[in-house]
Structure 1
Amino acid sequence: MTTLSTATILPPLTPSTGLPPSWEIRLSRSHSIPYYFNTSTYESTWEPPLGTDAEQLKVYMATNHSYILPSGAASGTNQRSKIRCSHLLIKHSGSRRPSSWKEKYITRSEHDAFTILSALESRIRNGEATLAELALTESDCSSARKGGDLGYFGKGEMQTEFEDAAFALNVGEMSGIVKTGSGLHLIERTA
């Protein structure tokens, strides 16, 4: 007589979000973008909660929340329709709105803005700081308070120069200096 052993069937593994306990990722009905929800406290936030493993979250978001158009849509090939980026913006007197949360009137020249952003780019590439860390204090965009995070966007939602540079990046890559009507940017693709 043969005996059959019973095996425990485990649910398929899902990649970890990197979020602290009780936090999960949900999709906003009004904006169709992910947000963070605490199932214990019912708190919700657009920003990752304290204690999040940023690298794990970045991988999870890139895998699960980068949208792809159906095959044959638009150009006839699969392509990402929404990406997520952070940026660091340095405005100058020629910017379309030469003011920011830091300065009511920005009078620096484009050359001076380029010099400032070049120095910040060097610090990021040398590993002294991250774009998000520097954006908090140095960016002239209101996204500075979110570490430069612009959320998800698709084609046609940003200035052409910004969009072209952003969509050319792979997740985790940072652009060189990009000039738009808003000023000079460093762009990091996060998802």
Structure 2
Amino acid sequence: TLAPDSTLVRVVHARMASDLPKGWEKRISRSTGEPYYLNTLTKESQWEPPKEPASTGTSTKDQVWCSHLLVKHCESRRPSSWRQENITRTKKEALALIKGYREQIVSGKATFEELASQYSDCSSAKRKGDLGTFGRGAMQKPFEDAAFALSVGELSEPVYTESGIHLILRTA
């Protein structure tokens, strides 16, 4: 038998996990040798393969899971990012970029994840814009209000905060 930490087991585990909805891991039971599925948010497990993204089990009124694409401008509270040390674009130019990205996503020319990875001025770009779950009070108020108003799978209109202009995608 293979050790649980062997390279082959890790590679197989990674391949199996990629087919699962967000927030789930496939694991093998030590006692039965059968696969089971772990909700990485709640640490609860189940035998049946999940069909929906993991949730915290709490009311969606309490927590949301979102991704975002941030475009900073010269009036942002910190006009600097991993992409550009000194951001000089105007708020109007930032809005034009955000509207263009939204159009590409809505029209199907690009995915949210592709654009967030390439163009977001937030370090979450390395996670395709994924911010994970958060509750009320964790984000700037305009961002929080927009995120909690979205339905799962819905993309926001441009949202203005002190950080810049955002597109928010509610993922769970």
Q: TM above 0.5, one fold?
A: yes
Cα 1:100–1:22 change in 2 (3 A) is closer
Q: CA deviation at 1:186?
A: 0.3
CA change 1:37–1:101 in 2 (3 A) is farther
Shift of 1:21: 2.8
Match status 1:185 vs 2:166: yes
CA RMSD of aligned residues (A): 2.7
1:80-118 Cα offsets, whole Å, 9 max, x none, are: 311100000000010011000000000111011011111
Instruction: Report the TM-score when normalising by structure 1.
Output: 0.65
Alpha-carbon offset, residue 149 of structure 1: 0.2
- Give the percent of matched residue pairs that are identical in Structure 1 and Structure 2: 45
Structure 1 equivalent of residue 125 of structure 2: 144
Matches of 1:116 and 1:184, distance apart in 2: 10
Residues 94-149 of structure 1 deviation map (CA, whole Å, 9 limit, x = unaligned): 00110000000001110110111111111011011111110000100000011000
1:95-174 aligned at under 5 Å gives the runs: 95-174=76-155
Letter in 2 for 1:21: M
SS of the residue corresponding to residue 84 of structure 1 reads: strand
SS state at 1:88 partner? strand
Matches of 1:163 and 1:151, distance apart in 2 = 13
Residue 16 (structure 2) aligned to one of 15, 21, 26: 21
For structure 2, the residue ranges without an aligned partner over 5 or more in a row are 1-13, 30-39, 41-48
Unaligned runs of 5+ in 1: 1-18, 26-33, 41-45, 47-55, 70-78
Deviations 1:5-60 (A, max 9, x none): xxxxxxxxxxxxxx8437899xxxxxxxx5747659xxxxx9xxxxxxxxx97x52
- Are the equivalent residues in 2 in contact too, given 1:86–1:189 (CA < 8 A)? yes
Is the contact between residue 17 and residue 25 of structure 2 (CA under 8 Å) also seen in structure 1?
A: no
Task: State how far apart, in whole Å, the 1-side matches of 2:58 and 2:89 are.
Answer: 41
| TM-score, scaled relative to structure 2 | 0.72
